[in-house]
A and B are shown apart, each in its own frame.
Chain A
């Protein structure tokens, strides 16, 4: 099995808090890239990167089209765009909303699955809809791993529950345990410490 190269995270309602919790638990030399689709309002979320940055020393930014994917950085889907993973870089799209969402978690997960296969770890966090369920399934189908936040520890459990209904995840974890898990799977298999 190849080492995970990219962690894709989907979250909605309550996602900001959950993201901050996870990122604050990751080491500053985290060895994979992290891409996040957080449902966000096109009008009022310019400050999202800054709001998360204070939780971590990893560099956080809204993605610019065709930006290269670099390990140890955190990339956010910009408001009102879908974020797609291509081999080695990101792409953006203004295709229609998927399940009322743009960015869509499914679009991020599915494109990562096709481009990175088993080197993908997908994480489904808190949210009040079913986005991410189909994408988590695609990640599994392409040999990647799926982690779902334990719905009982989620501010809203609908999104994790929907993912659990379509996918047999590699782990169902309390929010507080996700950072350590990601650090382990991404570090151990690269042969690092």
Chain B
């Protein structure tokens, strides 16, 4: 095993510089994906190297914004993994029915595909009216896009298929209007959503939740930062609160494994028990 030392050093210096200049901490991000995104910035900013990008970013906050945006974009889909939403409806919704008021944290919501899917699912199961969803991301530009609730029209066919496979009960097109800018989802779906900036790497717990949903976000973190975030989620969940991770994420590598029981093994849905 080895790493390319010069490339690694340049990346270290960029991340250290960003942390000290802007307070964003990417030092514990998994390197492979981070490196690809930084390389993309090197190309798009038309600078010759990571070191030249560091130089530019330290002096130009707009270049920094563009990097944070790049790091905040994850290409997901509405009702990605339809079987997850089926499991959520079959196994989590009955638990949520026992609460008079439900708070859900959708952590790392990026452009909002998951938030809208969740809102639709809760709506169809009669729970949306008594739910508040806190949809957070570190980047305010992606949050603004999420709050806008407009998604590309050419995605709607795939999203509709996902919705049907997830057990959706209506015609998916009832949820949006076709506009020049794309499929605009009805604003009633965000009536009970609070979009707020929150950085999992550096910000604290801010409320108590019945559900924390954080799918395919922690995959960008190294093990140490993942563990830190698991601590944050554990602190944020009520007793018997639900933690939902991505299909290829596991609690098994974490010291928090014993604090949860499995609700659905395949779909990575857990319940806090201690």
Q: Does B264 interact with chain A (Cβ within 8 Å)?
A: no
Most interface-central of B1, B4, B37, B223 (chain A CB within 10 A): B1
Interface residues of B (CB under 8 A from A): 1-4, 7, 30-33, 35-37, 73-76, 80, 216, 218-220, 222-223, 226, 246-250, 252-253
Residue in chain A with minimal CB distance to B247: A78
* Measured CA separation A137–B220 after assembly (Å): 25
CB pair A94–B248 under 8 Å, yes or no, is no
B73: A residues at CB distance < 8 A: 95-96
Separation of A40 and B235 alpha carbons in the complex (Å): 38
Q: Which residue in B32, B220, B226, B253 is a CB contact (below 8 Å) of A114?
A: B32
Whether A111 contacts B32 by the Cβ 8 Å rule is yes
Quick check: A94 and B3 within 8 Å, CB to CB? no
The answer to whether B248 and A84 touch across the interface, beta carbons within 8 angstroms, is: no
* Size category, A interface: 35 or more
Q: How far is the CA of A114 from the CA of B33 in the complex (A)?
A: 12
Cα distance A63–B253 in the bound complex, in angstroms: 13
- 30 A-B pairs whose Cβ atoms sit less than 8 Å apart in the complex: A5-B1, A64-B248, A64-B250, A65-B249, A66-B219, A66-B253, A78-B248, A81-B219, A85-B32, A86-B31, A87-B3, A91-B32, A91-B219, A92-B216, A92-B219, A92-B248, A93-B33, A93-B219, A94-B216, A96-B73, A102-B75, A107-B32, A107-B36, A110-B36, A111-B35, A114-B3, A114-B35, A115-B3, A116-B2, A142-B4
The distance in angstroms between the C-alpha atoms of A87 and B76, with both chains bound, is 26
Interface of chain A residues 62 through 103 with chain B (CB within 8 A): 62-67, 78, 80-82, 84-89, 91-97, 102
